[in-house]
Amino acid sequence: MMFEKTYTVRWADMDPNGHMRHSAYNDYAAQHRIEFLAASGFTLPYFAKAGLGPILFREDTRFLKELHINEALRVGGELSGLNADGSRWNIVHTLYKPDGRPAATVSVEGAWLDLRTRKLTTPPPEIAALMAELPRHESYRDL
């Protein structure tokens, strides 16, 4: 199941050089992950009630092409790693320019945090299954 979203590069995303600032790429990748979960019913209120949240251990961004104000920015996500119980996961987000060329990749390593105990935890089976449905990136490996 491919989940893609298209956004418009905003004024607030720009840097003094006239292209999208480096941290905005990561912001769009994070927004994409949250919208992917919400589209399947796992909204921020759901996570608050469940006392569960996604966390990141690593985030690596590769910049390939500039993005400019008012450009359409398409973001996709592919699974690059998952462990058997779904508690740890890796995702590669690709951010595309309007012509389809990759503008950047944002690779993240994450897990699920029990917000009450502040310890890593296993997600509910429905979330683990949803994560497993993400398309596999060419670099996918079992964790």
Q: pLDDT tens across 118-143, in order?
A: 999 999 999 999 999 999 999 999 99
pLDDT of residue 57: 98
pLDDT of residue 31: 97
Q: Which two tokens stand for residue 2?
A: 């491919």
**For residues 35-63, average pLDDT:** 96
CA–CA distance, 89 with 86 (Å, rounded to integer): 7
pLDDT of residue 2: 79
Q: Which domains can be identified in the chain, with CATH numbers? A: 4-142 (3.10.129.10)
Instruction: List residues bridging with 74 in a β-sheet.
Output: 6, 96
- Interval 74-111: pLDDT, tens: 999 999 999 999 999 999 999 999 999 999 999 999 99
CA–CA distance, 38 with 117 (Å, rounded to integer): 24
**For residues 15-41, average pLDDT:** 95
Query: Angle at CA 133, nearest 5°, toward 113 and 142?
Result: 70
pLDDT of residue 1: 61
CA–CA distance, 116 with 51 (Å, rounded to integer): 6
Q: Which two tokens stand for residue 98?
A: 């309007």
Q: Which two tokens stand for residue 143?
A: 């964790």
- 68 CA to centre of own chain: 21
Asked if 47 and 126 count as a contact pair (C-beta separation under 8 A), the reply is: no
